[in-house]
Chains A and B, each alone.
Chain A
Amino acid sequence: MFELVYGPAWFYGKDIAMDAIGILILFLIGIFSLRCYKINPSKKTYLWLALSFFMISLSFLFKILTNFRIYYDVDVTSRIAGRLYSYELVKYTDILFYIGTLAHRILMLLGLYALYSIYHEHTKSEAFLSAYLLVIIAIFTQSNYYLFHITSFLLVALIAWKYFQNYRKNRSQPAKLLASSFGIITLSHFLFCFIIFSQELYVAAEIIQLVGFLLLLITFIRVLKDGKKKKPA
């Protein structure tokens, strides 16, 4: 029904920790954007930015829950080694995996699309149609995982390109860091498209994605630091 594509056994759990770091960073930026929206409610882009970061963050949470459940069940099954019991566990895991993966993919694609739409104006009907198509992609790529990764790669690449254009316009250091972090995250999404060929590619993609998220955190810290430059007299 769907494909399980994982890294090597020694990497189990480490990818969960890496994704958890990503969740925290995305959530932090989402909270900040929401606070900005509360100060300036006339600027709806703050709300959209917060919403998109929350959706991507939640998407990773579903990925973690799914992976955690599977790693845990594989462990239990191998220790008990009872045939019938193992079969029931796997079936139970299948359902959880299906729901978790679906939620992860839908939220990831919608979150990325929401972020992309901030910079590209759409009519309501166009936005609805695009969101519908992304949900369809998420549902029907359960058996073709790479289609999901190609779609998310394209969305992240377009967002990264927009941030690079923004850097060229204002030449600020945080804008450069932001463009670089999304460039690195784009590279990780590119590698995720090929993880079926090698388990090590999954490890590399996860590590590169973590580097991208850490650079995003550095960007955020730099934004706050630059905002504080003029200290109260």
Chain B
Amino acid sequence: MARKRSRLDIITDMLASIQDKGGEIKPTHLMYKSNLSHDQMKSYLDELVNKELIDKIKKSSYDYIIITDKGHSFLQKLREMQEFEKTFGI
């Protein structure tokens, strides 16, 4: 059975999903890609916006979520951490 995702795992998945889509994604797509409920997603989005890791923009009357530079570098740190964990088996 797969282990339950931690908060940090979810944040990594969300930021990676935005990055994979070229840096911007529609909120519903992000919800499906990150495998979150609407309420969970709202709470995570608020937190990530507050921490300036992502931003919300409007483009041709659609809402989009974009990853910031700070978000990019944080995601890189998270990936380094994941690799470190895997290597050291912690």
B-contacting residues of A (Cβ < 8 Å)? 32-33, 36, 39-40, 42-43, 45-46, 49, 118-119, 162-163, 165-166, 169-170, 172, 174-175, 178, 219, 223-224, 226-230, 232-233
User: Which B residues lie within 8 Å of A219 (CB)?
Assistant: 87
Closest Cβ of chain B to A115, distance in Å, is 10
Cross-chain contact B8 with A228 (CB below 8 angstroms): no
Closest Cβ of chain A to B47, distance in Å, is 14
Cross-chain contact B81 with A36 (CB below 8 angstroms): yes
Closest Cβ of chain A to B83, distance in Å, is 4
A93 to B67, CA, bound (A): 60
A174 to B87, CA, bound (A): 6
Total chain B interface residues with beta-carbon distance under 8 A: 25
User: Which A residues lie within 8 Å of B16 (CB)?
Assistant: 230
Point out which of B69, B77, B79, B81 has the most chain A C-beta atoms below 10 A from its C-beta.
Answer: B81
Cross-chain contact B88 with A232 (CB below 8 angstroms): no
* CB of B90 within 8 Å of the partner chain: yes
A25 to B89, CA, bound (A): 19
Closest Cβ of chain B to A176, distance in Å, is 9
A178 to B31, CA, bound (A): 37
Cross-chain contact A39 with B81 (CB below 8 angstroms): yes
A118 to B89, CA, bound (A): 10
A118 to B90, CA, bound (A): 8
* CB of B19 within 8 Å of the partner chain: yes
A166 to B84, CA, bound (A): 12
- Shortest Cβ distance from B23 into A: residue: A233
Cross-chain contact B19 with A175 (CB below 8 angstroms): no
A228 interface neighbour in B6, B79, B84, B86, Cβ under 8 Å: B79
A33 to B90, CA, bound (A): 11
A32 to B77, CA, bound (A): 10
Cross-chain contact A175 with B86 (CB below 8 angstroms): yes
A174 to B23, CA, bound (A): 29
Cross-chain contact B79 with A166 (CB below 8 angstroms): no
Asked whether A172 and B87 contact (CB < 8 A) given A36-B81, A39-B81, A230-B79, the answer is: yes
